[in-house]
Amino acid sequence: MSLITEAAPVEVATPKPPAPRRRKAGGTPYAFLAPALILFAAFLAAPIVYAGYLSLRKVKVSGLGLGSKARTEVWAGFDNYARSLSDPDFLPSVGRIGAYGLIVVPTMLGLALLFALLLDANRTRAGISRVARVSIFLPYAVPAVVASLLWGFLYLPRVSPITDAFEAVGLTAPNLLSSDLTLWAVANIAIWGGTGFNMIVIYTALKAVPSSLYESARIDGASELSIAWRIKIPIVMPSLVMTFVFSLIATLQVFAEPMTLRPLANTISTTWTPLMKVYRDAFARNDLYAAAATSVVIALATFILSFGFLKLVGRRAFDQED
Amino acid sequence: MKTTYTPLMAVLTAAVLFTGAACSSSDSPEQATDPDEKVSLTYWTWAPNMDEVTAAWNAKNPNIQVTVNKQDGGDPAVTKLLTAIKAGSGAPDIMQAEYQKIPTLVSSDALADIAGEVGSVKDRFPAGTWNGVTLGSEAVYAVPQDSGPLMFFYRSDVFEKNGLQAPKTWDDYAAAAEKIHKANPKQYLGTFSATDAGLFTGLAQQAGASWWGVNGDAWSVKIDEPATRKVASYWGGLVEKGVIDNKPMYTPEWNAALNDGTQVGWVSAVWAPGVLEGSAKDTKGKWKAAAMPQWDAAAPKTGAWGGSAVGVTTQSKHKKQAAQFIAWLNSDPDALKLLATEANVYPAANDAAGVLTSPPAFFSDQPDFYAIAGEASKQLAPFTYGPNVNVAYSAFNDAFGKAAESKKAAAFTESLTTMQKTTVDDLKNTGFTVAG
């Protein structure tokens, strides 16, 4: 992932510096790399490998399962995978985040791009732009759990000022936590929290574009709209691709928002998203093995989707940098 | 580059795996024998002010010092304990656990058998409660601390206005719910909460259900059986009619409803005054406590919601001293008094009635509060929990959540079929023998 974060800078037409001469390196580079590698191995690689190992194990109980030594861990092969993929709750949860992604990703990125373009449109009025930028970014600084609690209050009809507002003008407020609207209610929290971050990424890319480019476009008679459409958007395409991949990953991993809203409504089940199913298996059912198998499946899906997408658009987006 | 660090990673990974394996195979700790040895014990509990209670013990027992480690609540504490047991270290000596968690903990080898140490206090507890800590076996896995007999709480002013009496039977309750809702469509006598599996279990217990059972070397699961079906279709019927609400309890919305007088009754347990004090403080003095509505008024029964016991973990190196402490904590009259006044729990011991003389503050003008509670705890129907209560409970959340949302009585009884199947499948999958 760290490779992707650094991909933001936009093409600059400088010639490549000549390749540095290769020197024979001893152990020095490895000594410098060691701290990072050890941390990586201990806190990232090892847990992943361990999860993979757990996903192939299971517990067998003998008799009533009471008292010591009644449980033994045995090899399960791909049993856990078969069970987790055939779980009747699994596919609906995947479908749900599919729909969730279709709502969240385009809306969030569309808004982020729009805000970034608007902020960039008047570079001269820096004061207003800074205030607006910070206030759009601010929700991102609110932790997802806090944001969900906050929105939860707004969604609950009896305590919500939204209901009061509707009733004041003689209308009935929709119950945002009813089965038809829950998905939208959860998506709204993600959009509210994520737009600011994506806007900053796109805005930063826009800032890197030299003003001379726009000046020449204006001299050629281009309107602000066509500058945005024909110059700015193509230039920030790599940032858009990157934010898209981030949003895709966030969609696959949506957890905190529905988990926090769950006790407030009947409409969010314990397996509402795939990660919630992992949580339920691991911590409510005490079945770490099934949870590990589902986690591995989610990790693989994330991997395939994000890298598949990058490969698909790679030629257009990232090759520009070379 | 890639090839150079792969071996390093493999070595580290292997090291992690081996440490894990080495820990999990460690044997049970040795018992300390020296009676004058100074020991310090850690105690995980989520009851408030428990350090005040242990201070009394520590003052009298300089050789057995107990340190309280405050936990967030029943579920997170159990998750933490199971993780520590799996890891081979990190568990406390003494652990508070809700009754429904005990089979899970015992089957994960987290609680030690302390029959030899605390067997003598058996007679100080109601038989039904004691059954919860032995799981019907010769072993004793914990000592009961508090119990949560179900009771009914209602707004006496609203009942008076509608010319109603506290319901004696569930038929009375249904009639009262209908009358109150008809008189004021905003008011409900209660709500069916799909997020509170514990309450539903208590209601099923009252109706005569016992969801798990031991049958020789096999477990039996009896969720989708007539007793529980009766309860499910009763509440489903009330929700379908619209005379009670279908929204979960313990939400900001529910708190507001209790406080502004739109929820005017609550089927709850003996600890309800504390909750009402927090959520419905504007209505103080308007609530009354009563015995549970009955299915058969001639043979009154009740169920339990909540309540917990205290056990010694298998990782404790001082089982004897720890057992000594928990026996004192939960049966000594001085300790019971402290439990009731400091930790605000309703002690499970028979002597509880002796130490609870004045009613809780929120019900200060109802002097017979603890008399009703004491009567209720004698009427507790027997109920056996199984080793996968959490599976059944999360199946309850999902199935009844959908049912409550649909407001169809038929969906409520169908939910029991789902719960039964999920629970049995899970047991079979883990390798338990399931009878029937």
Query: What does pTM read for this prediction?
Result: 0.84
- A182-207 and A144-155 are packed helices; what angle lies between their axes, rounded to 10 degrees? 130
Q: How many CB atoms lie within 10 A of CB A122?
A: 11
Q: How far is B206 from chain A (nearest CA, A)?
A: 25
Q: Is the pLDDT of residue B10 over 80?
A: no
Q: How far is B124 from chain A (nearest CA, A)?
A: 25
pLDDT digits (tens, 9 = 90+) for B199-212: 999 999 999 999 99
Across the interface, do B109 and A61 touch by the CB < 8 Å criterion? no
Chain A CA closest to residue B214: A64
Best of A261, A266, A270, A285 to substitute, by most chain B Cβ atoms within 10 angstroms, is A266
SS3 at position B24: helix
pLDDT digits (tens, 9 = 90+) for B20-40: 333 433 344 444 456 667 899
Q: What pLDDT is stored for residue A4 in this prediction? A: 45
Smallest Cβ–Cβ distance between A159 and the set B217, B252, B404 belongs to B252
| ipTM confidence score | 0.80
Across the interface, do B248 and A264 touch by the CB < 8 Å criterion? yes
Per residue in B291-329, is it b (16+ CB within 10 Å) or e — as a string? Answer: bbbbbeeeebbbbbbbbbbbbbbbbbebbbbbbbbbbbb
SS3 at position B209: coil
Across the interface, do B218 and A49 touch by the CB < 8 Å criterion? no
Across the interface, do A50 and B13 touch by the CB < 8 Å criterion? yes
List of chain B residues whose C-beta atoms are within 8 Å of the C-beta of residue A265: 247-248
Q: What pLDDT is stored for residue B34 in this prediction? A: 61
Q: How far is B395 from chain A (nearest CA, A)?
A: 8
Query: In whole numbers, what is the pLDDT of chain A averaged over residues?
Result: 85
Q: Is the pLDDT of residue B324 over 90?
A: yes
- What is d(CA A186, CA B176) in angstroms, rounded to the nearest whole number? 38
Among residues A92, A51, A6, A73, the alpha carbon closest in space to that of A277 is found at A92
Range with the lowest mean pLDDT among A103-107, A267-271, B16-20? B16-20
Q: How far is A262 from chain B (nearest CA, A)?
A: 9
SS3 at position B122: helix
Answer with the residue of higher pLDDT: A63 or A261. A261
| DSSP letter (8 states) at residue B264 | -
Per residue in A46-59, is it b (16+ CB within 10 Å) or e — as a string? Answer: beebebeebbbbbb
Among residues B18, B70, B63, the alpha carbon closest in space to that of B38 is found at B63
Q: What pLDDT is stored for residue A7 in this prediction? A: 45
Q: State phi, psi for A159 to the nearest 5 degrees.
A: -105, 5
Does A38 contact B at CB distance below 8 Å?
A: yes
- What is d(CA B22, CA A261) in angstroms, rounded to the nearest whole number? 41
Across the interface, do A178 and B390 touch by the CB < 8 Å criterion? no
Residue pointed to by tokens 């991102």? A140
Domains located in chain A, CATH noted = 34-77 (no CATH), 81-321 (1.10.3720.10)
Q: How far is A114 from chain B (nearest CA, A)?
A: 36
* CATH architecture of the region B35-148+305-378: 3-Layer(aba) Sandwich (3.40)
Number of residues that make up chain B: 436
Note whether B35-148+305-378 and B149-304+386-435 share their fold: yes
Does A277 contact B at CB distance below 8 Å?
A: no
Within 8 A by CB and 6+ apart from B432, the residues are: A61, A64, A65, B218, B219, B387
Q: How far is CA B436 from the centre of its chain?
A: 27
Indicate the CATH number for domain B149-304+386-435. Answer: 3.40.190.10
List of chain B residues whose C-beta atoms are within 8 Å of the C-beta of residue A70: 107, 109
Long-range contacts of residues A298-307, Cβ cutoff 8 Å, at least 24 apart: A298/A252, A298/A253, A298/A274, A299/A48, A301/A252, A302/A248, A302/A249, A302/A252, A302/A253, A305/A248, A305/A252, A306/A245, A306/A248, A306/A249
Q: Is the pLDDT of residue B56 over 90?
A: yes
Across the interface, do A283 and B217 touch by the CB < 8 Å criterion? no
pLDDT digits (tens, 9 = 90+) for A26-45: 788 889 999 999 999 999 99
Q: Where are the domains of chain B?
A: 35-148+305-378, 149-304+386-435
pLDDT confidence band for B217 (50 / 70 / 90)? confident
Query: In whole numbers, what is the pLDDT of chain B averaged over residues?
Result: 88
What is the mean pLDDT of the segment spanning A171-184? 86
Among residues A184, A192, A150, the alpha carbon closest in space to that of B252 is found at A150
pLDDT digits (tens, 9 = 90+) for B120-133: 899 998 887 888 89
